[in-house]
């Protein structure tokens, strides 16, 4: 019996994997088999936790799962459904109008009038929706969330541009044939590879108001001991603080981030400048030398070479570093937590270092509000995705890939 069945099986196998279709099938099978382990890991360790966090965010979840509350946690964060629809819908329409405006330029004249009308419609409706919804969202939503987003924006804006400029300058210097080039590169890269908690703790002691190295240095320079900055303990906005020093009075709202947050920003710049410089060095190395030679022959000076050749040709690196920098600053937690832990409760002083990540942590661990913290995490994810999209759109036509 077995001997009679065997040829039949072979025949089936033969028909399935033979010929053009069979070969494609075999290749597809092999491909999916190779993909299977990676896909499995992706599901288990990435997608499943994200899905589970989303599931948690739809529940009243305090330590254990409670009632299903749908979008309750999201509405607690963002205000009433109307506020959310008006604000988010308005932003969506504004984004749509922006994309349309970029498209109009390349369209035929016949279509332009129609598209312009559509653009105007989207702009007006989107703008109106946002203007009507956002103030109400601020009133009805979680004030802590909006404050945290503002603080995070300060943190990001205070960090990324300085990191980019300093690291580019540093890379430009390190790219020259200077003595001990490799040693300098290693030295500047060291802060990045140092354990964050350890380096943050060291910086915390440097900033210590009474015995910290920084203030001892300022006193050595002649600053009266009673006037030295309190750094991480100073909740006063930096603008107000500096204004006071020169006799200028600024309102708190116009003062920007607190001196405490600025102290953390300085630490973060120190950490990433070396890393960014190394990435820039790779970008600089990819610029063909012939371009510099041609420019020199044409009589371009150093500034013109930098402006017209170097900066445009490292723009992909700049775009990458800006994107990673913004994402990193919006997710920053460890060093802020370590540096400010001695000052007081999380977000101290006076909540001025309460970035969105810190707020999520506070709600999750300090408040045991697992459901709400998960919802906040998804709100932050939405913000990050929007920012990435905006950056991508802004960079289009500005990043030169050679």
Partner 1 sequence: MDTRKLFALLALMALLLPLMSACAKPTPEPTVEATVEATEEATEEATVEATEEATEEPTEEPAPEPDYDTDIYGYLEDVDPSGQEVTYWYQHTRSREELMLAMIDDFNRTNEWGITVVGESQGGYGDLFQNIIAGIPANQLPEMAVAYQNQAATYATQDVLVALDPYVASEKWGYTQAELDDFFPVALTADYLPQFGGRYGWPPYKSMEVMYYNEDWLVELGYDGPPETWEEFGEMACAAIENPFSGQTGEGPVLGYEYSVDASRFATFVFSRGGDIISEDGSEYVFNSDAGIATMSFWQELVEKGCAAQATEKYGDQTDFGNGRSLFTVSSISGLPYYGQAVSEGADFTWSVNPPPYGSDRSAPRMNIYGASQSIMTSTPEQQLAVWVFIKWLSEPEQQARWATSTGYFATRASAVALMQDYIDENPTYAKAFEFMKLDSGVESPVAGYDECRAAIAEMLTVILDGGAVQEEMDAAIEVCNEYLEEAAP
User: How would you classify residue 230: left for phi > 0, otherwise alpha for psi between -120 and 50, otherwise beta?
Assistant: alpha
Check: CB of residue 126 under 8 Å from CB of residue 84. Answer: no
DSSP-assigned states of every residue in 344-360: SSTT-STTTT--HHHHH
Q: Decide if residue 362 touches partner 1 (CB under 8 A).
A: yes
Give the contacts of 273 (CB within 8 A, at least 6 positions apart): 163, 166, 167, 170, 188, 191
Segment interacting with partner 1, rule: CB under 8 A, options 67-75, 209-217, 306-314, 386-394: 209-217
Select the residue interacting with partner 1 from 350, 381, 384, 391 (CB under 8 A). Answer: 350
- Please report how close the Cβ of residue 152 comes to partner 1 at its closest, in angstroms: 19
- Please report how close the Cβ of residue 33 comes to partner 1 at its closest, in angstroms: 8
Closest to 69 in 3D by CA, of 51, 55, 52: 55
Q: Decide if residue 19 touches partner 1 (CB under 8 A).
A: no
- Please report how close the Cβ of residue 224 comes to partner 1 at its closest, in angstroms: 12
List, as own/partner pairs, every contact residues 143-146 make where C-beta atoms lie below 8 angstroms and the sequence separation is at least 24, other chains included: 144/354, 144/359, 145/77, 145/78, 145/356, 145/359, 145/376, 145/379
Q: Decide if residue 225 touches partner 1 (CB under 8 A).
A: yes
Check: CB of residue 99 under 8 Å from CB of residue 396. Answer: no
Segment interacting with partner 1, rule: CB under 8 A, options 18-26, 173-181, 190-198, 268-276: 18-26
Closest to 122 in 3D by CA, of 146, 141, 103: 103
**CA distance to 77, 203, 226, 255, 287, per residue, from 242 (Å):** 34, 22, 16, 9, 42
Number of residues that bind partner 1 (CB under 8 A): 43
Each residue 20-59 as x (binds partner 1 by CB under 8 A) or -, in order, gives: -x--xx--xx--x--xx--xx--xx---x-----------
- Please report how close the Cβ of residue 210 comes to partner 1 at its closest, in angstroms: 4
| C-alpha torsion 138→139→145→147, nearest 10 | 70
**Smaller CB distance to partner 1: residue 43 or 121?**
43
d(CA 135, CA 270): 37
Check: CB of residue 346 under 8 Å from CB of residue 360. Answer: no
Give the contacts of 243 (CB within 8 A, at least 6 positions apart): 249, 250, 255
**Smaller CB distance to partner 1: residue 158 or 347?**
347
**Smaller CB distance to partner 1: residue 16 or 128?**
16
- Please report how close the Cβ of residue 230 comes to partner 1 at its closest, in angstroms: 8
- Please report how close the Cβ of residue 373 comes to partner 1 at its closest, in angstroms: 12
| C-alpha torsion 263→195→354→50, nearest 10 | 150
Segment interacting with partner 1, rule: CB under 8 A, options 230-238, 244-252, 282-290, 329-337: 230-238
Site for partner 1 in 62-101 (CB under 8 A): 62-65
**Smaller CB distance to partner 1: residue 15 or 388?**
15
- Please report how close the Cβ of residue 233 comes to partner 1 at its closest, in angstroms: 6
Quote the strand ranges of 26-74, DSSP E.
59-62, 64-68
**Smaller CB distance to partner 1: residue 14 or 65?**
65
Segment interacting with partner 1, rule: CB under 8 A, options 2-10, 165-173, 346-354, 385-393: 346-354
- Please report how close the Cβ of residue 96 comes to partner 1 at its closest, in angstroms: 32
Each residue 167-206 as x (binds partner 1 by CB under 8 A) or -, in order, gives: --------------------------------------x-
**Smaller CB distance to partner 1: residue 230 or 335?**
230
Q: Is 61 helix (H, G, I), strand (E, B) or coil?
A: strand
- Please report how close the Cβ of residue 167 comes to partner 1 at its closest, in angstroms: 32
Give the contacts of 191 (CB within 8 A, at least 6 positions apart): 199, 270, 271, 272, 273, 274
Other C-beta atoms closer than 10 Å to the C-beta of 182 total: 8
Select the residue interacting with partner 1 from 93, 151, 235, 314 (CB under 8 A). Answer: 235
The site for partner 1 (CB under 8 A) is made up of 21, 24-25, 28-29, 32, 35-36, 39-40, 43-44, 48, 62-65, 205, 208-211, 216, 225, 230, 233, 235, 342-351, 362, 365-369
């Amino acid at each position: 019996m077995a001997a009679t069945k065997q040829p039949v099986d072979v025949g089936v196998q033969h028909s399935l994997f033979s010929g053009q279709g069979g070969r494609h099938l075999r290749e597809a099978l092999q491909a999916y088999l190779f993909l299977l382990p990676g896909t499995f890991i992706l599901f288990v360790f990435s997608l499943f936790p994200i899905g589970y966090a989303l599931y948690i965010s739809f529940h009243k979840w305090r330590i254990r799962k409670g009632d299903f509350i749908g979008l309750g946690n999201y509405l607690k964060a963002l205000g009433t459904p109307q506020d959310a629809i008006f604000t988010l819908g308005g932003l969506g329409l504004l984004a749509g109008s922006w994309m349309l405006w970029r498209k109009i330029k390349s369209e035929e004249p016949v279509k332009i009038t129609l598209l312009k009308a559509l653009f105007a419609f989207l702009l007006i409706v989107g703008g109106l929706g946002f203007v009507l919804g956002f103030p109400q969202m601020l009133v009805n939503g979680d004030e802590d969330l909006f404050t945290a987003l503002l603080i995070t924006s300060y943190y990001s804006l205070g960090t990324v541009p300085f990191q980019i400029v300093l690291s580019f300058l540093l890379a430009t210097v390190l790219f020259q044939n200077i003595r001990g080039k490799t040693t300098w590169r290693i030295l500047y890269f060291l802060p990045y590879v140092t354990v964050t908690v350890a380096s943050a703790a060291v910086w915390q002691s440097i900033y210590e108001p009474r015995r910290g190295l920084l203030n001892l240095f300022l006193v050595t320079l002649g600053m009266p001991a009673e006037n030295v900055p309190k750094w991480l303990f100073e909740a006063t906005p930096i603008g107000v603080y500096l204004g006071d020093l020169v006799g200028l009075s600024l309102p708190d709202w116009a003062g920007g981030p607190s001196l405490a947050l600025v102290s953390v920003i300085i630490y973060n710049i120190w950490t990433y400048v070396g890393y960014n410089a190394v990435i820039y060095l790779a970008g600089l190395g990819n610029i063909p030398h012939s371009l510099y030679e041609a420019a020199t022959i044409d009589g371009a000076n150093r500034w013109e070479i930098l402006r017209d050749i170097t900066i445009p040709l490292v723009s992909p690196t700049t775009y990458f570093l800006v994107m990673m920098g913004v994402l990193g600053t919006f997710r920053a937690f460890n060093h802020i937590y370590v540096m400010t832990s001695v000052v007081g409760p999380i977000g101290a002083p006076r909540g001025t270092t309460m970035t969105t990540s810190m707020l999520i942590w506070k709600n999750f661990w300090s408040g045991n509000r697992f459901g709400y913290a998960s919802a906040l995490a998804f709100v932050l994810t939405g913000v990050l995705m929007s920012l990435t999209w905006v950056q991508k759109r802004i960079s289009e036509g500005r990043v030169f890939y050679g």
